[in-house]
Amino acid sequence: MAWTVSCSRVFVIRFSASSSSGGGGGGHGQQHRSSGNAVRVNGAAHRAPLQVGAALETSINRSLAELSAPVLPLLPATGGDGDVGGEERSRQNIPTEKQTVDPFRQALIVEGGVRYQQTLVLRSYEVGPDKTATLETVLNLLQETALNHVWMSGLLGDGFGATHGMIRNNLIWVVSRMHVQVDQYPIWGEVLDIDTWVGSSGKNGMRRDWLIRGRNSGDVFVRATSTWVMMNKVTRRLSKMPEEVRGEIAPWFIDRHAIQDEATEKIVKLDSTAMYVDSDLKPKRSDLDMNHHVNNVKYVRWMLETLPDHFLQQNQLSSITLEYRKECGSSDVVQSICQPDEDSIPPQENVSMVIGPSLSPEIISGHHSLAGALQQSPMKYTHLLQLKAGDKYEEIVRGRTTWKKKAYKAP
């Protein structure tokens, strides 16, 4: 059930939407909208915190924390089996028993007590210049809700997703493949409902899926799915899933996929002849996660920054698939390579290059045939991040991105 951002070999994360109950379904979204701020679990009403000014909200949250902190059963001060110590665990408020309601995060455990559901508001520092969520924000929300899911399960043995059994076996989670589909980017101040759940993936893996919806509309904005395996923390080698760990997480499995019929085509490896190459990228201290590896969100940032600025200004990402091969540390030097798929470049691309930026949005939106041409077939790119290892390079992650033209809006 855990989530981590370290990478060793290939894991998958997918994002998918479904209007049925399969992904947390439209039904629960309607239920939330009809119930206002209050939700009912096991007969008890729980009201979500009000959206108020920052100062008042801080005061309210502090009071709630002081009143509610003793409620959760915590580990004794001595800790145990390599788990987080008692003092640190108390400050993190990590429970040792399953929770059904988290009033601090506005979250619930639903659907037979296995699926996680959280409501949040998109904040100002989570959006870009266009006031919409960045891809980095989307990935961070996925990671955070996955960890919160494990937190409420009562299985969290440390601060980053490992269960008690995993800690006893010196294991951590790593992601091998990830797929995210963005149908629409949330906007600043929008209220979102995020659902996440886990399922089995082969004998030794685990799948985690997500859906991000707009609470007011019920529309699915983001769909995602991922595959995880275990790695020995000391040897850095992949490990089979111990029966002890399987016994912990198997009761939480749901046989449901956020992205239906997801293609698993292997991503080709690029070389130095690619069109775009950015070398000598170096991780910063702030890029490291709690496992002391470069966070996978940073990988995506490196990939996208290789693309030309004019392309990023005119287009937005609609899908990304990542295949992780190797973890990256703080002392590694990284090279980012990118190559456009020629068969995915729309015929009108040459036309747009000729007309250039001098064509105003009013003219484009008023000229229906031209506006339609500029919004046709999405473009696709293949990506590769690799690190320098002596006189050669070793793969970190391969990627595939699909893009679509940004919609022009008349003032």
Residues involved in catalysis? 291, 293, 328
Look at residue 213 and give its three-state secondary structure. strand
Buried b (16+ CB within 10 A) or exposed e, 23-59: bbbbebbeebeeeeeebeeeeeeeebeeeeeeeeeee
* Residue matched to tokens 């190459």: 277
Q: Which of 255, 337, 236, 249 is nearest to 293 (CA)?
A: 236
Two tokens at 233? 């923390």
Helix axes 296-305, 135-153, angle to 10 degrees: 170
* 121 within 8 A of 192, measured Cβ to Cβ: yes
* 296 within 8 A of 139, measured Cβ to Cβ: yes
Q: What is the residue type of 237?
A: R
Burial-class residue 347 by CB neighbours within 10 Å (0-12, 13-18, 19+).
Answer: exposed
- Please state, in angstroms and rounded to a whole number, the distance separating the CA atoms of residues 290 and 3: 12
* 160 within 8 A of 4, measured Cβ to Cβ: yes
* Residue matched to tokens 């995060």: 105
Q: How many CB atoms lie within 10 A of CB 67?
A: 9
Two tokens at 286? 């702030």
- Please state, in angstroms and rounded to a whole number, the distance separating the CA atoms of residues 150 and 4: 11
- Please state, in angstroms and rounded to a whole number, the distance separating the CA atoms of residues 316 and 24: 27
Q: How many CB atoms lie within 10 A of CB 72?
A: 15
* 177 within 8 A of 11, measured Cβ to Cβ: yes
Q: Which of 258, 119, 82 is nearest to 194 (CA)?
A: 119
* 192 within 8 A of 227, measured Cβ to Cβ: no
DSSP 8-state secondary structure symbol assigned to residue 272 = T
